[in-house]
Amino acid sequence: MTGYPDDLPFFGDDDDFVPAPAPAPRPGGIAARAQAARGAPRYLEGLNPEQRLAVETTEGPVLVLAGAGTGKTRVLTTRIAHILASGLAYPSQILAVTFTNKAAREMKARIGILVGEAIEGMPWLGTFHSIGVKMLRRHAELVGLNSNFTILDTDDQIRLLKQLIQAEGLDDKRWPARQLAGMIDAWKNKGLSPAEIPEGDARSFGNGKGRQLYQAYQDRLKTLNAVDFGDLLMLPIRIFREHADVLREYHSKFRYILVDEYQDTNTAQYMWLRLLAQRPALPDGSRPAVNICCVGDDDQSIYGWRGAEVDNILRFEKDFPGAKVIRLERNYRSTAHILGAASHLIAHNEGRLGKTLFTDRGDPDDARVKVHAAWDSDEEARAIGEEIEALQSKGHALNDMAILVRASFQMRAFEERFITLGLNYRVIGGPRFYERQEIRDALAYFRIVSQGSDDLALERIINVPKRGLGEAALRLMHDTARARNTSLLQAARDLIGTEEMKPKPRAALRALVESIERWQGMLDRTPHTELAELILEESGYVDMWKNDRSPEAPGRLENLKELISNMEGYESMRAFLEHVSLVMDAEQNDDQDAVSLMTLHSAKGLEFDTVFLPGWEEGLFPHQRALDEGGRAGLEEERRLAYVGVTRAKKNLHIWFTSNRRIHGLWQSTIPSRFIDELPEEHVEVVESGSSYGGYGSGYPGRPNPYGASRFDDTPVFSNSYSTPGWQRAQRNRNEATQRNWGNRSGHQVERIGYGEPDSGYGAGRGSFKGKVIEGELVAKSVATEPSRFKVGDRVFHLKFGNGNVAAVDGNKLTIDFDKAGQKRVLDGFVQPA
DNA sequence: ATACTTTCGATTTTT
DNA sequence: TCGAAAGTAT
């Protein structure tokens, strides 16, 4: 099938040729065929026809387009179970890749249930990165590494880059290491080596030294025997390209390749997959079929900004001729109203493969998607809090509810509100366990003990806790290490025998070095968890946090305990360290009933009975920056994000927008997201605000023109807010102005307010800025701020604050000393000459 | 080294 | 505006 002998010995691994699970006959054997003829095995029961087709089409390239809630994971796991149970391959002959450890764990667990516990041997099921490490450890010498290389965390990476930038004689303020790290990451996502990066990119950093710095970084990594996350894909790709024999062995090994979330693959991952999947041409010129099955949903591609290429999935049929495309459109999650809303919304995107979700569970009692308006973010939080409490009192579990926001700053209003209400909530996302400072510090201690040459680890903890070893001491160590071409630890050892350091730091350094040596001596004799505890105690690290008065300190000590207890699952400290940087997740305790609060991005893959989607306003969602930087593609990705949000809901969906939001400290008037207008009327119900701010506050300021008038303009709740002359004038001005000016730099429309009342009068849009027009559609605007028509000392009038004097002018932002209201900052469009 | 001041930036995040 | 992070002064 592959053109290679099937049973090539493969690196002599013990994970290879693990006996197939008990029920599985030998691949291709008579028993296998006999079983195939015997009718459907149990695991196929309950699959719908499309799912079943996706499971049973084992040969050749297959693309499964799995819409939200259509049983994607089930198909993937059943397919693997099917391949194993039919005896088509041994577990070790299946390559199954996911993006997150969570997804990999879930798949392992579910395959285990289907096939029985004998699944131990699926050595090649994991994330791109974990499989990458595994490959790289085997062939490290081919790229000049030792197989015990370390994987850098972001802090190490930044510190290293900073040193390199300084070594180039560049100002590290002007050329921040973070930015370079971001660029290198982006290059690696594209699979580009220093020699291959575009000239423009290379020139744009560090006075044209971009390429040089990238190369220097790679060289430095090599001498440190270290890699970064990007290398875990890049280096295997290089090995495959440069060593045909290695690639050939992987070809003969992997009979089946499965990829989860294919729409999220970046170029490097794509190249990696292509290399593994595509077989060399046969003598007759034809290419052997590839048993690759990619599962994904182009409508849920929301990671373009970090290098994912939707194009990979759109191009699948070209990449793999003869590919079968199977669509999963039967949704098992949401009501018909929610699906109708989602489908109608996503249909506004071009460049999709096209799917329409449906369900046959139509219940006349199902609620429509509810659209609510609030005056500002506080009212929004208050109203959602009330709704949650109401649901709770009706017996709904908080665990079944979630609030999904576009940007994390939105969470604050909810957290504050929930704290005052005493409502349990949990924030999902945020810094991962292993990214926390105390965990990284502890790991650095373990690293330097188990690997004395880990300079970056020593550097990290040299003065943590404070030992009086500051910059001067570190520089001396660096210089010594470089001069003698030794590790930092060896340099320290050498230095404490000389007079080069002042007595105090020298004594401190001696104490540290001696401790490290003592711990190193205990490595083989002491159980690793015990040793870990000892290290953290004796180094003074635990005391450091015990003496810390900050509120986080107790939590950090807890985390350290958890770290140690996590170590128990591993054989040795070294084994623990090998896995830890890739496979450690924060553990959420689900035992408490709590509302979930998270970003839309982190909600992908989850589902809740009731979902709240606040902040559907132009500029926030779709986010102005996505529009400015991504144009039409950016808008479509935002729309997919909206689609992801909508499809998280099983039964109830509440979409909210506010009329006013404070952005960068200024109150701005906002208009509802265009996505709200893209929802189908028949599945939506517009809810009148019942809160104290009702009436005026729930006012709906109408649509700007580029998207046409809103259907909601006519609904009573919104139209009554038009009745005031102020609103009517505001809208007139807005419509006029939006044709010329689509917001300003901060991303909002011309209709602005200072504090409180909306009044536009003289919108900031009197300018003649050019909007960004793509295919006749006004998508984004360029940055432009007209100088204010006011100057310091002018006497002005503001609708809410009355008369005052201009105290300062900053672009169109005025600081005004009001006679009555005191000093306020207001946009100039909201005051007029007194 | 620690406390105070200044500056900067403000979408989304995995491994 | 407001919070974090980096710089400066003691």
The answer, yes or no, to whether residue A25 has pLDDT greater than 50, is: no
Each residue's pLDDT tens digit, A30-87? 444 445 555 667 888 889 999 999 999 999 999 999 999 999 999 999 999 999 989 9
Of the candidates A340, A362, A352, A410, the one whose C-alpha atom is nearest the C-alpha of residue A598 is A410
Active site residue A245: no
d(C-alpha A704, C-alpha A559), whole Å? 50
Neighbours of A472 (CB within 10 A): 11
The answer, yes or no, to whether residue A701 has pLDDT greater than 50, is: no
Q: What SS3 string covers A84-142?
A: HHCCCCCHHHEEEEECCHHHHHHHHHHHHHHHCHHHHCCCCEEEHHHHHHHHHHHHHHH
Q: What distance lies between CA A553 and its chain's CA centroid?
A: 27
**Chain B bases having any atom below 7 Å from a protein CB:** 1-2, 10-15
Active site residue A265: no
Concatenated DSSP letters of A378-445: HHHHHHHHHHHHHHHHTT--GGGEEEEESSGGGHHHHHHHHHHHT--EEE--SS-GGGSHHHHHHHHH
If one compares A41 and A798, the residue with the highest pLDDT of the two is A41
Catalytic residue among A51, A52, A72, A79: A72
d(C-alpha A433, C-alpha A439), whole Å? 7
Find the helix packing angle between A488-495 and A471-484, rounded to 10°. 100
> How high does pLDDT run on average in chain A?
80
Cβ contacts of A822 within 8 Å, gap of 6 or more: none
The answer, yes or no, to whether residue A600 has pLDDT greater than 90, is: yes
**Chain C bases having any atom below 7 Å from a protein CB:** 1-2, 6-7
Q: Residue A173 CB closer than 7 angstroms to strand C?
A: yes
d(C-alpha A411, C-alpha A416), whole Å? 9
Q: How far is the CA of A407 from the C1' of C3 (A)?
A: 16
Element (H, E) at A731: helix A725-738
Active site residue A73: yes
pLDDT the model gives residue A768: 24
Known binding positions of A: 66-73
Active site residue A648: yes
Kindly state the percentage of chain A with pLDDT values over 90: 48
d(C-alpha A410, C-alpha A599), whole Å? 9
pLDDT the model gives residue A547: 82
Pairing of the two strands A771-774 and A831-833: unpaired
The answer, yes or no, to whether residue A635 has pLDDT greater than 50, is: yes
Residue A431: asked if its preceding bond is cis (omega within 30°), the reply is: no
d(C-alpha A658, C-alpha A693), whole Å? 12
Catalytic residue among A253, A493, A648, A813: A648
pLDDT the model gives residue A796: 80
Summarize the confidence of residues A208-225 as an average pLDDT: 92
Q: What distance lies between CA A300 and its chain's CA centroid?
A: 13
Find the helix packing angle between A553-567 and A573-583, rounded to 10°. 120
pLDDT the model gives residue A742: 28
The answer, yes or no, to whether residue A794 has pLDDT greater than 70, is: yes
pLDDT the model gives residue A505: 85
pLDDT the model gives residue A290: 84
Of the candidates A702, A768, A749, the one whose C-alpha atom is nearest the C-alpha of residue A729 is A702
Active site residue A355: no
Catalytic residue among A2, A57, A58, A73: A73
Of the candidates A715, A731, A618, the one whose C-alpha atom is nearest the C-alpha of residue A676 is A618
Cβ-contact A415, A699 below 8 angstroms: no
Q: Residue A174 CB closer than 7 angstroms to strand C?
A: no
The answer, yes or no, to whether residue A120 has pLDDT greater than 60, is: yes
The answer, yes or no, to whether residue A398 has pLDDT greater than 90, is: yes
Give A827's pLDDT tier (boundaries 50, 70, 90): low
Summarize the confidence of residues A536-554 as an average pLDDT: 84
Find the helix packing angle between A128-139 and A573-583, rounded to 10°. 140
Residues in chain A: 834
The answer, yes or no, to whether residue A448 has pLDDT greater than 90, is: yes
Cβ contacts of A133 within 8 Å, gap of 6 or more: A151, A232, A582
Residue A198: asked if its preceding bond is cis (omega within 30°), the reply is: no
One-letter amino acid at A433 equals F
pLDDT the model gives residue A833: 77
Q: Poorest-confidence range of A158-172, A522-536, A630-644, A752-766?
A: A752-766
Q: Residue A171 CB closer than 7 angstroms to strand B?
A: no
The answer, yes or no, to whether residue A767 has pLDDT greater than 50, is: no
Cβ-contact A669, A614 below 8 angstroms: no
pLDDT the model gives residue A365: 87
The answer, yes or no, to whether residue A698 has pLDDT greater than 60, is: no
Of the candidates A540, A539, A488, the one whose C-alpha atom is nearest the C-alpha of residue A518 is A539
A103 nearest nt, CA–C1': B14
Cβ-contact A261, A296 below 8 angstroms: yes
Tokens of A111: 């395959």
Give A18's pLDDT tier (boundaries 50, 70, 90): very low
The answer, yes or no, to whether residue A687 has pLDDT greater than 70, is: yes
A172 nearest nt, CA–C1': C6
The answer, yes or no, to whether residue A769 has pLDDT greater than 50, is: no
Catalytic residue among A153, A156, A231, A261: A261
Neighbours of A440 (CB within 10 A): 19
> What is the maximum span of chain A, computed from C-alpha positions, in angstroms?
95
Using a 10 angstrom Cβ sphere, with 0-12 exposed, 13-18 middle and 19 or more buried, the burial of residue A589 is exposed
Summarize the confidence of residues A220-226 as an average pLDDT: 92
d(C-alpha A431, C-alpha A552), whole Å? 14
A666 nearest nt, CA–C1': C1
Q: What SS3 string covers A570-639?
A: CCCHHHHHHHHHHHCCCCCCCCCCCEEEEEHHHHCCCCEEEEEECCCECEECCEHHHHHHHHHHHHHHHH
Pairing of the two strands A666-669 and A684-687: unpaired
d(C-alpha A410, C-alpha A284), whole Å? 61
Q: Poorest-confidence range of A184-193, A230-239, A499-508, A759-768?
A: A759-768
d(C-alpha A352, C-alpha A263), whole Å? 11
Q: How far apart are the first and last CA of chain A?
A: 85
Q: How far is the CA of A560 from the C1' of B3 (A)?
A: 29
Each residue's pLDDT tens digit, A245-299? 999 999 999 999 999 999 999 999 999 999 999 888 888 877 777 899 999 999 9
Summarize the confidence of residues A775-804 as an average pLDDT: 55
The answer, yes or no, to whether residue A697 has pLDDT greater than 50, is: no
Tokens of A709: 């008038």
